[in-house]
């Protein structure tokens, strides 16, 4: 006749082991699910960044930028029209600075405008968004530029800031993608082609 103690021990061991294996079995799926969610979020961010890149590139052929700055064109619209669109600059241009800066706000990208002597826009600078930057300029690298827009027409090293300027001709205008040390686009300049 079998003792009840070994049977009780086996049942207890089974229950404990089953519980531990059950808990342990869920652990490997959690990192996989988290990694899958992160990969999905990263893919969405990159898609948003590519959409932004193409919108900026397409608008550059008409001398303008998308989003809030749409309709403000290089050498056509004036500082007064920029102020009508954006309001008075929170950091107006002065003798030391040539740009009127409009910082990024919740979901709105930042811009800066420089002007010719006649107060028409000479340059529009796009800074992207600060929050979720990877959905914007933070996911655009030199490799992405090459894959999406082809080889740059010109590449310049900016020694004063240790940045690289990837220049793309867009008809009568040029886009300058300023890439920082982190190998992502810091900002984009749009100006008349030289």
The pLDDT tens digits of the residues spanning 30-56 come to 555 544 554 666 778 788 899 999 999
Q: Does pTM surpass 0.85?
A: no
CA angle 177, 181, 183 (to 5 degrees): 60
* Residue 185 neighbours by CB under 8 Å, 6+ apart: 128, 137, 138, 140, 141, 145, 177, 178, 179
Mean pLDDT of 173-185: 96
143, pLDDT greater than 80: yes
- When comparing pLDDT for 132 and 9, which is higher? 132
109 band by pLDDT with thresholds 50, 70 and 90: very high
Mean pLDDT of 91-120: 83
């Amino acid at each position: 006749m079998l003792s009840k103690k070994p049977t009780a021990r086996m049942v207890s061991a089974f229950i404990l082991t089953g519980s531990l294996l059950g808990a342990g079995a869920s652990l490997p799926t959690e990192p996989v699910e988290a990694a899958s969610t992160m990969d999905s979020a990263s893919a969405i961010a990159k898609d948003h960044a590519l959409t932004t890149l193409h919108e900026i590139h397409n608008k550059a052929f008409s001398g303008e930028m998308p989003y809030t700055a749409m309709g403000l064109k290089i050498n056509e619209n004036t500082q007064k029209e920029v102020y009508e669109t954006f309001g008075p600059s929170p950091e107006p241009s002065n003798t030391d600075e040539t740009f009127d800066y409009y910082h990024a706000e919740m979901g709105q990208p930042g811009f800066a405008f420089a002007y010719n002597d006649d107060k028409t826009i000479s340059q529009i600078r796009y800074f992207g968004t600060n929050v979720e930057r990877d959905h914007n300029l933070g996911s655009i690298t030199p490799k992405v530029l090459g894959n999406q827009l082809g080889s740059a027409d010109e590449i310049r090293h900016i020694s004063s800031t240790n940045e690289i300027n990837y220049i793309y001709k867009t008809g009568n205008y040029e886009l300058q993608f300023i890439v920082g040390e982190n190998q992502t686009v810091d900002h984009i300049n749009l100006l008349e082609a030289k």
